């Protein structure tokens, strides 16, 4: 706070001055800080400032929690430094822009991409933003992220997307990560085609995004496999033709039964543990594609003794977010409605409660949790 003398409308204040109290912008903010496996805190942190002329500082309006944040909290990603602010998804409003940012100005509403891209390096030129030499997936991982009141976004011109006035910003949070991830790593890499039979293993938000976007290509059968009956029921409402609870049923046998013993043309892995990748290996048809999406923290057995003669492909991918502009149009036109994935809403300072809900998704019947400022 700063106290300044003010005039008293021309009237003498006698022997004392009249003061008014005006707030000055706080240099601090609240953020979710990771302190090693299982340890996190919602606490005061310095507000980010511009470091490079290509940066923007964004005031977060809406953010969310990703399965990848849970992997970090579990200790699957020991490279994440203690003290890191997590989060790589969100929409916000530009608070400050560096002098060489030309696409955005203060006050613009933007989607924050989970992947930062300079737009100039060899990988960016190939459209492989995920491996940008100066960026890639760094937000909430190698640099401070979006589960905070403010975030610094490097290479703002390429790493932010403009939001037209009047858009439904809740739906657009799903474009930061899960929609391009499900689509690029699952559907495109899995080469889903009309008439195909596909399986999606994992009915979390990312698996659901693969479910929604796979239907651009009209596969004939979509089998969704998970251990959470609530998520499986939701998958049915989003277009799954069959669901299998792999905790209570033998998923391999069930898929073989459903496919006349052939297996599926595409198996999309959207969990990130050995059991689910190995399940994909057992249900893939000859000539099929296993498209891994999950972030894996442990090594997985590759059964080449069974697969060497099956003419299959296995793909891995860190989301590039190259399809974000296309997906944006499908969301704006309501061809897909990812907003339906939001099951819980919190205020930003209820971050710890939101983590608890997302960590206990089955108990809480949770899919995507939305945090709003
Ligand atoms: N490749 C990428 O660029 C990228 C980007 C974003 C997220 N991801 C990864 O995608 C994965 C999914 O993310 P999410 O946000 O949907 O996570 P999530 O944790 O919400 O969902 C995972 C789902 O897997 C199910 N599951 C757990 N164990 C299972 C088992 N043994 N058999 C069947 N189902 C099981 C859970 O019930 C849950 O529904 C995570 O590994 C995440 O890190 C990858
Ligand atoms: Zn993510
Ligand atoms: Zn680059």
pLDDT digit string (tens) for 300-346? 999 999 999 999 999 999 999 999 999 999 999 999 999 999 999 99
Pocket-testing residue among 63, 64, 65, 68, ligand 1, by greatest number of atoms within 8 A of Cβ: 68
147-154 mean pLDDT: 98
**Lookup: tokens for 41:** 């805190």
Give 103's Cβ-side CA count (13 Å radius).
Answer: 14
Task: Give the pLDDT of residue 8.
Answer: 41
pLDDT digit string (tens) for 22-70? 455 678 999 999 999 999 999 999 999 999 999 999 999 999 999 999 9
Which among 320, 336, 316, 318 has a CA at the least distance from the CA of 328? 336
Pocket-testing residue among 76, 223, 271, 314, ligand 1, by greatest number of atoms within 8 A of Cβ: 271
pLDDT digit string (tens) for 105-137? 999 999 999 999 999 999 999 999 999 999 999
- Provide the residue ranges of all domains of the chain, joining segments of one domain with +: 28-177+321-372, 179-315
As a whole number of angstroms, the distance between CA 360 and CA 160 comes to 31
Contact 238, 222 (CB under 8 A): no
- Choose between 265 and 5: higher pLDDT: 265
Q: Assign 277 to helix, strand or coil.
A: helix
Indicate the DSSP class of residue 215: G
pLDDT above 80 for 183: yes
Task: Give the pLDDT of residue 21.
Answer: 55
| Fold for the domain defined by 179-315 | Rossmann fold (3.40.50)
As a whole number of angstroms, the distance between CA 84 and CA 144 comes to 6
SS (H, E, C) 238-305: CCCCEEEECCCCCHHHHHHHHCCCCCEEEEEECCCCHHHHHHHHHHEEEEEEEEECCCCCCCCCCCHH
Residue carrying structure tokens 């492989």:
128
pLDDT above 60 for 249: yes
Ligand nearest to the CA of 176: 2
Of 16-20, 305-309, 346-350, the least confident: 16-20
Q: In what order do the strands lie in the sheet with 264-269?
A: 242-245, 221-226, 197-201, 264-269, 284-292, 313-315
Q: For residue 250, how far is the Cα from the chain centroid?
A: 30
- Of ligand 1's listed atoms, the one at least distance from the Cα of 130 is 3
Q: Assign 182 to helix, strand or coil.
A: helix
Would you mind telling me the total number of residues written for the chain in this entry?
373
As a whole number of angstroms, the distance between CA 55 and CA 321 comes to 19
Q: Whose CA is nearest to atom 21 of ligand 1?
A: 204
Neighbours of 342 (CB within 10 A): 19
Whether the CA torsion 128, 285, 303, 268 is positive or negative: it is positive
Task: Give the pLDDT of residue 24.
Answer: 54
Q: What is the CATH number of domain 28-177+321-372?
A: 3.90.180.10
**Reported confidence tier of residue 297, pLDDT bands at 50, 70, 90:** confident
Quick check: CB of 207 below 6 Å from ligand 1?
A: yes
As a whole number of angstroms, the distance between CA 15 and CA 354 comes to 55
As a whole number of angstroms, the distance between CA 162 and CA 139 comes to 19
pTM attached to this predicted model: 0.92
């Amino acid at each position: 706070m700063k106290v300044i003398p003010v005039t008293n409308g021309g009237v003498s204040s006698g022997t004392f001055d009249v003061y008014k109290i005006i707030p000055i912008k706080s240099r601090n903010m609240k953020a979710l800080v990771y302190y090693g496996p299982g340890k996190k805190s919602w606490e005061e942190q310095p507000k980010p400032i511009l470091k490079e002329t290509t940066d923007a500082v964004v005031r977060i309006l809406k953010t969310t929690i990703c399965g990848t944040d849970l992997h970090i909290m579990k200790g699957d990603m020991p490279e994440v430094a203690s003290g890191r602010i997590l989060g790589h998804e969100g929409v916000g409003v530009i608070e400050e822009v560096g002098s060489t940012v030309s696409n955005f100005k203060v006050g613009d509403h933007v989607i924050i991409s989970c992947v930062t891209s300079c737009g100039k390096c060899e990988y960016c030129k190939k459209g492989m933003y995920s491996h940008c030499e100066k960026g890639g997936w760094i937000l909430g991982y190698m640099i401070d992220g979006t589960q905070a009141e403010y975030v610094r976004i490097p290479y703002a011109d390429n790493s932010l997307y403009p939001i037209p006035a009047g858009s439904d910003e809740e739906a657009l949070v799903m474009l930061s990560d899960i929609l391009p991830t499900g689509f690029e790593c699952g559907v495109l890499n899995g080469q889903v085609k009309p008439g195909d039979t596909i399986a999606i293993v994992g009915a979390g938000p990312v698996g659901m995004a693969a479910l929604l976007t796979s239907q651009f290509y009209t596969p004939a059968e979509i089998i969704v496999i998970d251990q959470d009956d609530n998520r499986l029921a939701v998958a049915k409402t989003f277009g799954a033709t069959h669901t299998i609870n792999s905790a209570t049923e033998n998923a391999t046998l069930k898929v073989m039964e459903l496919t006349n013993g052939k297996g599926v043309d595409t198996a999309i892995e959207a969990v990130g543990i050995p059991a689910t990748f190995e399940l994909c290996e057992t249900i893939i048809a000859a000539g099929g594609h296993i498209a891994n999406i999950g972030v894996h923290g442990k090594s997985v057995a590759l059964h080449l003794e069974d697969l060497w003669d099956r003419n299959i492909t296995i793909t891995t991918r860190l989301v590039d977010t190259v399809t974000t502009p296309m997906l944006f149009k499908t969301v704006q036109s309501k061809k897909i409605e990812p907003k339906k994935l939001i099951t819980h809403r919190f205020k930003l300072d209820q971050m710890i409660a939101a983590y608890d809900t997302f960590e206990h998704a089955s108990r809480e019947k949770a899919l995507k949790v939305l945090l709003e400022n």
